[in-house]
Structure 1
Amino acid sequence: MLSLETFELTKAFGGNLVLDKTTVSFQHGKVNALIGPNGSGKTTFFNCVTGLIRPDSGRISYAGADITRRSPHAIARAGLGRTFQLCRVFPRMTALDNVLAATRPRGANLLRGARGRAEIDRARGWLTKLGIEHLMQTEARNLSWGQQKLLELAGVLMSEPETVLLDEPAGGVNPALLDRIGGLVRDLNAEGRTFVIVEHNMDLVMSISDHIVVFDRGRPIAEGPPSLIRTDERVLGAYLGA
């Protein structure tokens, strides 16, 4: 079963073609990675898939449904969650309130109705699972960069997405926290969640991925398991600098 597919997805900014009739699929129930050199279209691909920008043409399908023209909120309700390269947290709110606010609809008071015991317990549970429960009363601005990444992920998981898109989870993270993030991805995948991860840290990609897609100039040039990708000449030429 395919979790996420695109068909001839195209996006240009001015005269710069970023996605060039991109047709690609990611495997349901697996840890998928999307890699490629800077400027190859990875984040633009994520932005199109999650509704932040509209593609110029092409189609996006998730779980068999066409989501190409849906709003970001409708796509999230369909089961797709997403983190960003630059963490999106509320800096002057506590970690617990950040996680609670993540489930509020746009335009609503962020914390109105969010204080039910069941929801608070669920938020605490995610903070505990991600290893930052001791920081739940700490304002987000006082957390380290890696801790903010975990906090953002906790907020995403509050919506119980079936598929999680992670945009450079290893960026700026210390090695100990990086190991924790890798372990969390594997644990959450074992519980049934599908992942698609944009990442430049090849050690992380190769250690946790089941399936890897490689972009170059807005198109996939290779895909397969890590054992195949690490020896693919097209990948070595385009991404690893051989």
Structure 2
Amino acid sequence: MRIVSLVPSLTEAVAATLPEALVGVTDWCTHPAGLAATRVGGSKYPDLDRVLALRPDVVLVNVEENRESDAEALRAAGVELYVTYPRTVDEALDELGRMLTALGAPAEPGWLAAARAAWAALPTPTTSRRAVVPVWRRPWIVLGGNTFAGDVLRRLGLVNVYADAAERYPRPSLDELRAQDAELIVLPDEPYAFTRDDGPEAFPGTPCALVSGRHLTWYGPSLADAPTLLSAQLTTT
């Protein structure tokens, strides 16, 4: 099996389970460190000629992360795609299990079993806080409804102010964001790299929590640590 992954979280999942099969990854595939696979460009704009030159048996893509035009071009070239699109934690765990089986994993890897156990053991929240979750600024883009990250935060006791928005990633003005009377602003370090000096100053008087974007949005080995790590980060403002 020769696998090219155009999704960083799936790259980490395959590298932790079937490392010898991974022949191509994107420039944004940062985990695990020291990947020896060929880089094929970005998730949004991969070098398709470089992908094809690797003679993959399958290319891993995600409906949200990758462009449909690239997926169509790969299909037209005769490449098999494995398409993922989880919108809840349970969907992500199950999709990972099915994908790894399809790719030839002889059994469910230990990290996936640990992730299932970690989320199953998470207690039902007894309180909830209204939260706004920006994922970009200039312009501001926030987490809407029907998203994997939104389900992660729901399980951790947050109520996404924009969970019922028509768009999955609304683009409200800063004035609108400030008018939501959120109890917490959640600022991940990806895709936009929010920091103590870049983000919190836009929401004076409202607590801000800086969190790991990888643990909030990636579905792979990071899911095993996500409940504990994110819970701690969401209480540190």
TM over 0.5: no
Highest relative contact order (Cα 8 Å, sep 6+), 1 or 2?
1
TM-score w.r.t. structure 2 length? Answer: 0.29
TM-score (norm 1): 0.28
